[in-house]
Structure 1
Amino acid sequence: MAFKVGDKVTHRSFGEGEIDFGPFEHYTGPDHYLMRDGDGKHVLVDGGSMKPIAKFEVGDKVRGTFTGRVYIIAGGPFFSPEEWYATETEAGDTISNTASMLEAIKSEPAKNEALKVGDVIRIPCDGLECADVKTGDLLVVAEVVGSDITVHAAPGAGQDEWYFCLRNVERIDPSTVAVVDNVAYDLTAGYRDNDGDVWRFARLPNGDVRGNWHGSTINGFDSLLSDVVADCGPLVRI
């Protein structure tokens, strides 16, 4: 079968890798590719020596990247003309979805009480429930009522709060984020300040969240996140 740049594959000799270039014709024959292996090295491979790595398995719980709809993988993977799956809706209907239109649900509160005011949720798709939000936005929970939540909107959004169904959002591990003035900051990402400097932050053993822009190890002498927000904000995640 044909592959394209970005495809995750497994090679019979080199193991798992990713297609970085191809297909192209080599003097040994057509259908050749440059594959980046697990060590980051490029190897020359032919299409017949590889098979695609499936993005999901039957039984996985996934979400539509644009619709926010939740599915269970019911069949697949199928690879014609591109990777796709038979997916079952919560109502029991089965429809097809391509892999590019689906994302894994990494975490989700098991019950409403698991999500509380002050927790941080991730938005799984642009315009979720018609709100002014983007994929990957981190928002702070302001209220939980039954199966619905209210969140503080991101700075610059069309209104101060947005409302979502609990099942359509993803809860974030609190150890990976910090909240300042109802704005969530991703401690795994970099942030550009109003001077163009890029900051990184970390939570220290004493609970302080500090960071710097010069790339050295973060310690107790570095700036508090709250001070950076006040003095150098707004901070933009990159």
Structure 2
Amino acid sequence: MAAQTFKAGDKVAHRSWGAGEIVFGPFLRDGSEDNYLMKALSNGEHRLVDSPAMTIASKFNVGDKVRGVYSDDIYTIEAGPFRSAYGEWYATKDEDGDVGHNDADSLKAVETTEDASLKEGDVVRTLHDNAFHADVKAGDLFEVRAFAPYFPDRIKVDAGPGARMAQWTFRPQDFEKVGADKAAVHDGVVYDLTARYRDKDGDVWRFERCPDGEVHGAWTSRAIDEYDETLAETVRDYGPLTRV
């Protein structure tokens, strides 16, 4: 079988270096004419590679939300990619649940709320059930623990006790960043500051991030201020806290 040919600008997946982009080639090297210069997308480094180690990267993944370029309809990628003489295509499901097919060039990614300043320690909210095959529900909160190797736009979060995996991986379209006024992390637990929590004595607490930067709480209806117990103190003295 003849080696696959690539061109500058092609997005590829390399078996050792992960996602990359062809910047030059093909060219002759060591008697072979299928050599390329590839830029690794994880860190921007350039690598000398050959075609047997690469495949064309898929434009979309199963579960992605996409929009029709011409129809403006929203679809979910159900299967694919499939390739024919006419190019790459996918099985897609529309918002009515009907499954059909669309060419890759007739689809574009749905814009997301990805925040370029996202960093480890930030809190994110999942946007739909079973995001990227994880056992999660839309609205679940997680702390960003790391960024996925070779895919710097994907994040890793701790899955939690009893989950079938230690961590989940999410793509930008699977989550949105939650502001510091809406969530807080203490001792590895994410607390929703828009919710209420019941302590071990049955009292129900509200929490807010105050001007001092700390999260404080109160179990009465009065305004919360910096003289109230911090979230850490509440957990220590009255925990565990259960969301209600």
Matches within 5 A, 1:72-221: 72=67, 86-88=73-75, 95-98=93-96, 108-110=113-115, 113-145=116-148, 146-154=152-160, 157-221=163-227
Stretches of structure 1 that go unaligned for 5 or more consecutive residues are 1-66, 77-84, 100-104
The answer to whether the 8 A contact 1:192-1:198 is kept is yes
Stretches of structure 2 that go unaligned for 5 or more consecutive residues are 1-61, 78-88, 98-109
Superposition CA RMSD, Å: 3.3
Residue 56 of structure 1 corresponds to which residue in structure 2? none
The answer to whether the 8 A contact 1:211-1:222 is kept is yes
Secondary structure at the counterpart of residue 214 of structure 1: coil
Match of 1:70 among 55, 58, 65: 65
CA–CA distance in structure 1, aligned partners of residues 73 and 159 of structure 2: 35
Closer, same or farther: CA 177–107 of 1 in aligned 2, 3 Å: farther
TM-score (norm 2): 0.53
Q: Per-residue deviation at 1:151?
A: 0.8
Secondary structure at the counterpart of residue 114 of structure 1: coil
CA–CA distance in structure 2, aligned partners of residues 155 and 229 of structure 1: 19
Q: Deviations over 1:5-48 (max 9, x none)?
A: xxxxxxxxxxxxxxxxxxxxxxxxxxxxxxxxxxxxxxxxxxxx
Q: Deviations over 1:98-124 (max 9, x none)?
A: 59xxxxx996215xx532101111012
The answer to whether the 8 A contact 1:68-1:168 is kept is no
CA–CA distance in structure 2, aligned partners of residues 182 and 126 of structure 1: 22
Q: What is the number of residues matched between the two proteins?
A: 157
Larger radius of gyration: 2
Q: Which amino acid aligns with 2:131?
A: L
Closer, same or farther: CA 125–216 of 1 in aligned 2, 3 Å: same
TM-score (norm 1): 0.54
Residue 234 of structure 1 corresponds to which residue in structure 2? 240
Indicate the percent of aligned positions where both proteins have the same amino acid.
Answer: 39
